[in-house]
Amino acid sequence: MATMQDVARLAGVSLSTVSYALSGHRTVSAATRERIVSAMEELGYQPNAMARGLASRRSRVLALVYPAAERGLGGTVAEFVSAAAEAAREKGHHLVLWPFRTDQADEVRDLVLQGMADGVLVMEVTLDDPRVTTLRDAGVPFTMIGRTRDVAGLPSVDVDFERTTREAVDHLVGLGHRHLAFVNHSEATAAEGYAPTFRAEEGFAAAVRAHGLEPVVRRVDESPQAGREAAAELLDRSPRPTAVVTMNEIATFGVVAELQQRGIGVPDEMSVLAIVTSPGVADMSNPPLTTMHSPGADLGRLAVATLLSQVAGDPPPAAATLIPCTLEPGRSVGPAPGAPPAPAGAEPHP
C-alpha cells in the first residue's frame, strides 16, 4: 500500500508539502498541488473525499491521543479532558479521544490527513516520542501535554515538575522532616521513556539534596499491592523515612493501607504527600491525602488554545508553558516525629 512518503518521493516534494496540500494548513502552489494529486492517483494513495476538500473546510474536531486502554482515565486525567473538551466547545470544536499507543504514530497522522481532525493533542509524552516526530514532519498541527527531551520549537504545555517537587520537599522539610522518600511511577514507564517519571524523580532528588539531605527513590508498579510492598520496604530501612512523596495514584493507596496495617499513624508517625494528583483522588484515602494538585484544568484549556492557534495558521510558541501544582491541605501531612510544633499557618494534625 502506498504511503504519503511514496507520494512525496514521486512528486519530488517534501513530506510536509504533501501534508499541507492535503490539509490546507499552508498555501501550496497550483503546480505543486497538481504534481501531488497526479502522484497520488498513479500510486493509488487514498486520502478520502473529506481530505481532498480540507483546503476549503475543517472538520471542527480536535483529537486527544491518549492510550486509555493501557493507562485508564483516572480522576486527574479526567480534569484535563473535561477542561479541554469545554474549551474546544467554546471555540466551536468537538474533542474526541483517540486511544492510540505511542508506536501508532503513522495511524494518528493518516487519520488527520484524511480529514478526521484538524489537529492533535498528544498526551503521555515520552522523552523521544515518535508521535511528535511524525506529526511535525507531516506538518500536522499538534500540541503536547508534556515534553519531549528537546522541546525547542515544539508546542508544549506541561506540569512544572521542578518547581512542584521543590515546593513539596520544602513543605515537608519546613515541618521538620529529614528523611524523605519518593514513590514514583514504575520501571516500565521509565523503560518507555515516559517523561514525567524522569522529570519528577530528578526534581525530587535535586530538591532534597539542596537541603543537604539524601533522597530515597523507588519506582513502583501502578497497583495497590506494589504500593504496599514499597511501603514495607521503606519501613524496614534505617533510617526510616518520616515522609513519603508519591506520584503514582494507585500505588499511593497501597502505601497508606500498609502503613495502617502496621499501626503506623498517618501523619503522626509518617506523612504522605501525593503530587500531580487531584483532590477527588485524595478524598478516596483515609485520611484524606494532602496533595500537590495537578493543574489539569488549566493545562487542558491552554493546550486547546495553543492547538487552535496553529490550526489558524499561527506559528507554535517558542517555548513550553509550564504550570506548577498547588498545595492542597488534607490530613496526611504533619510535623516530623519529635519535631518542634508547626509554625502558624502550617498544616494541622487531623
Give the model confidence (pLDDT) of 151-165 as tens digits: 998 999 999 999 999
Report the CATH number of the 161-294 domain: 3.40.50.2300
Three cell numbers, residue 40: 497520488
pLDDT confidence band for 45 (50 / 70 / 90): confident
Q: Is 309 helix (H, G, I), strand (E, B) or coil?
A: helix
CATH number of 1-57, picked from 3.30.1330.60, 1.10.260.40, 1.10.10.10, 1.10.287.130: 1.10.260.40
pLDDT number for residue 149? 95
Radius of gyration of the chain (CA): 24
Three cell numbers, residue 131: 508521535
Three cell numbers, residue 95: 474533542
% of the chain exceeding 90 in pLDDT = 68
Query: What's the start-to-end Cα distance of the chain, in Å?
Result: 64
* Whether the predicted pLDDT of 24 surpasses 90: no
Give dist(CA 297, CA 303) in Å, integer.
10
For the ranges 54-68, 177-191, 290-304, 316-330, the lowest mean pLDDT is seen at 54-68
Cβ atoms of 154 and 143 within 8 Å: the answer is no
For the ranges 24-38, 108-122, 153-167, 254-268, the lowest mean pLDDT is seen at 24-38
Contacts of 286 (CB under 8 A, 6+ apart): 256, 260
* Whether the predicted pLDDT of 346 surpasses 50: no
> In b/e form, how buried is each residue of 260-294, taking b as 16+ CB within 10 angstroms?
eeeeeebbebbbbbbbbbbeebbeebebbbbbbbb
* Whether the predicted pLDDT of 109 surpasses 70: yes
pLDDT number for residue 349? 40
pLDDT number for residue 59? 83
Mean pLDDT, residues 102-122 taken together: 90
* Whether the predicted pLDDT of 20 surpasses 80: no
Q: Is 328 helix (H, G, I), strand (E, B) or coil?
A: strand
pLDDT number for residue 76? 79
pLDDT number for residue 239? 94
Single-letter residue type at 313: G
Domains 1-57 and 161-294 share a fold: no
pLDDT number for residue 345? 46
Give dist(CA 38, CA 253) in Å, integer.
59
% of the chain exceeding 70 in pLDDT = 89
pLDDT in tens, 51-95: 444 444 578 999 999 986 555 566 778 889 999 999 999 999 999
245-248-250 Cα angle (round to 5): 120
For the ranges 36-45, 135-144, 232-241, the lowest mean pLDDT is seen at 36-45
pLDDT number for residue 216? 98
pLDDT number for residue 55? 43
**DSSP assignment string, 234-301:** HHTSSSPPSEEEE--HHHHHHHHHHHHHTT--TTTT-EEEEEEE-HHHHTTSSSPPEEEE--HHHHHH
**What is the value of pTM for the model shown?**
0.82
pLDDT confidence band for 18 (50 / 70 / 90): confident
Mean pLDDT, residues 111-134 taken together: 93
Domain boundary assignment for the chain: 1-57, 161-294
Mean pLDDT, residues 306-326 taken together: 93
Would you give the DSSP letter of residue 223?
Answer: S
* Whether the predicted pLDDT of 344 surpasses 50: no
Q: Is 144 exposed, middle or buried (0-12, 13-18, 19+ CB in 10 A)?
A: buried
Would you give the DSSP letter of residue 158?
Answer: E
pLDDT number for residue 54? 44
Give dist(CA 105, CA 219) in Å, integer.
27
What's the mean pLDDT when you consider all of the chain? 89
**Strand bridging mode 243-246 / 216-219:** unpaired
